[in-house]
Amino acid sequence: MKNIAVFCSGYGSNLQAIINSVKKKKIKARIALVLSDRVDAYALVRARKEKIPVLYADPVDFKDRVSYDRFLILNLKKKKIDYVVLAGFMRLMSPYFIRCFRGRVLNIHPSLLPSFKGTQGIKDALSYGVKITGVTVHFVDEKLDHGPIIAQGALEIKATDTQTTLAERIHRLEHKLYPQAVRLLIENKLKIQGRKVKQK
Ligand code: GAR
């Protein structure tokens, strides 16, 4: 059985969707660790409820990004983690981290990449005035919201949408798309060829 670590900074609704898929045995893997860089992340509460081991690591306790990531890698090795799933983890991983886990780190982003990278994907799409936005699941590489794309889902922005109503639909789409992509990863069905991801 493969071991997954899920990294979260906030509410953890994507973590919950993955937990639910594991419980239903749609994802045949163990969530062996939930890590957060924020002590108040509700994701930690969700993990504890499910008796999943948690780790809180505050970036201010480390001298730089690489020492933080070294600490993470140490803990991932201890738990024999095979795959890392970023679920609302609002930190850029160092090149050192990526080298250690190349092709084994996924991220979900609330826009149709390469549009609206960064921490405000939903708000930025809405204020730009695009009519279509969506969700992207991708492998993580050294650059922000950049790696090869595994899956995307699109939705229409309505004239009446606010950030709240749009976020609701985005999250619903995320909770469908992310567990499916994690499942493909666990079942070793994804093959990276340059910027493209093929399904085996
Ligand atoms: C999700 O919408 C995810 O796409 C986004 O943070 C949210 C976390 O929600 N991630 C990013 O913006 C990464 N750049 P959650 O904590 O409820 O899963």
- Band of residue 58 on the pLDDT scale cut at 50, 70, 90: very high
Write out the two tokens for 168: 């609701």
Number of Cβ within 10 Å of residue 54's Cβ equals 17
Q: 87: CA distance to ligand 1 center in Å?
A: 6
pTM for this model (two decimals): 0.97
**Protein residues with CB under 6 Å of any ligand 1 atom:** 8, 10-14, 87-88, 108-110, 119, 121, 145, 171, 174
Give nearest CA residue, ligand 1 atom 8: 88
Centre of ligand 1 to C-alpha 166, Å, is 13
Q: Cα–Cα distance between 173 and 103 in angstroms, integer?
A: 24
- 152's tokens: 């995307």
Q: How does residue 88 score in pLDDT terms, banded at 50, 70 and 90?
A: very high
Whether 52 and 33 have beta carbons less than 8 Å apart is answered as: yes
pLDDT tens digits, 143-197? 999 999 999 999 999 999 999 999 999 999 999 999 999 999 999 999 999 999 9
- The confidence score (pLDDT) of residue 28 equals 98
All domains of the chain in start order, with CATH: 2-199 (3.40.50.170)
pLDDT at 50: 98
Q: Any catalytic annotation for residue 175?
A: no
CA distance 147 to 113: 10
- Percent residues over pLDDT 70 in the chain: 100
Q: How far is the CA of 110 from the centre of ligand 1 (A)?
A: 7
Report CA-CA distances (Å) from 198 to 101, 123, 185: 19, 31, 11
Eight-class DSSP state of 159: T
